[in-house]
Amino acid sequence: MRKFLAVVKHEYKKIVLKWTFLLGTLLFPVIGAGFAVVPALIFSIKGEPTRIVIVDRSNRIGMRIRENLSPEKIAARSDQMVKDAVKEMPVAQPGQMNQSAMQSAASFVFVDYNAYGRSSDDVYLDLNEMVVGNKIDAYLIAPSDIDSKDASFEFRSRKAGDFIAGDILRDAINDAVRSQRLADANISETSVMELSRRVTIDSKSLDDKGREKDSDMLLAASFVIGLMIHITLPFMDK
């Protein structure tokens, strides 16, 4: 038995004392912290604002889209996405990411354009000339009837690689159309949001005696204890 234990101890020390094992063990907490820091750094990158013209001949949807593209609305949506994606983040960090998201997402500047009395061809010509002349970066033309099944919003931008701005604009349009349709149907949007509010589920595991146990705390404690053993064991056997 002593020989067996000696062999096990020798092989264990052989593995633990390898520089790759020690390096991985020591760097793992740093890498783990990086997963929390990198998203905040990405959100903190502030790009150039997108100068955009919104053409809405019906005067029904343009203002709602503008409101949804306000820095406050975009920051609130970004904060909700962060909360949904990272449930176990510390309390302080979502606030920091929310502030960074507000700074990076506030990237729309609205340029006024009067389409009254202009034909569709003239509007396209004017807007394209504004893009070529570097007066605007993009334009959005709303359909005359947003309730039609064939209704289509036309978005043109010279920032072809700005996927974030495109996604934000798409969400803003969909939310604006939804709000307008609810208003046309005399349905309170606040009531709909309250009825659609997600419920909170308190999920815990049970031990062999039927008692509740916090699996998250158990996992964290096991990780910390295991990490301490791997770090201190090589120095204790020297």
Residue 66 clears pLDDT 50, i.e. is over it: yes
Q: Which segment, 72-81, 107-116, 121-130, is predicted with the most confidence on average?
A: 121-130
β-bridge partners, 156 = 139
* Distance from the Cα of residue 92 to its chain's centroid: 17
Residue 228: its pLDDT value, please?
Answer: 60
Helix, strand, or coil here: 110?
strand
User: Lowest mean pLDDT: which of 64-78, 122-136, 145-159, 217-231?
Assistant: 217-231
Whether residue 137 contacts residue 158, with contact meaning beta carbons closer than 8 Å, is answered with yes
Residue 207 has pLDDT above 60, yes or no: yes
Question: Residue 87's pLDDT band (boundaries 50, 70, 90)?
Answer: low
Query: What pLDDT is stored for residue 54 in this prediction?
Result: 96
> What pLDDT, on the 0 to 100 scale, is given for residue 1?
63
Cα separation, 228 vs 141, whole angstroms? 61
Residue 93 has pLDDT above 70, yes or no: no
**Rounded average pLDDT over 169-197:** 89
**The whole model's pTM is what?**
0.59
Give the pairing type, strands 50-55 and 108-110.
parallel
Give the residues across from 53 on adjacent strands.
Answer: 139
Residue with tokens 């043109």: 156
Q: Which string of b and e fits 103-133 if b means at least 16 CB within 10 Å?
A: ebbbbbeeeebebeeeeeeebbebbeebbee
Question: Percent of the chain scored above 70 by pLDDT?
Answer: 56
Which whole number is the average pLDDT over 70-83? 76
Higher pLDDT, 1 or 123: 123
Domains of the chain plus CATH, in order, are 48-196 (3.40.190)
Contacts with 42 (C-beta within 8 Å, 6 or more apart), sequence order: none
Cα separation, 91 vs 76, in Å, equals: 16
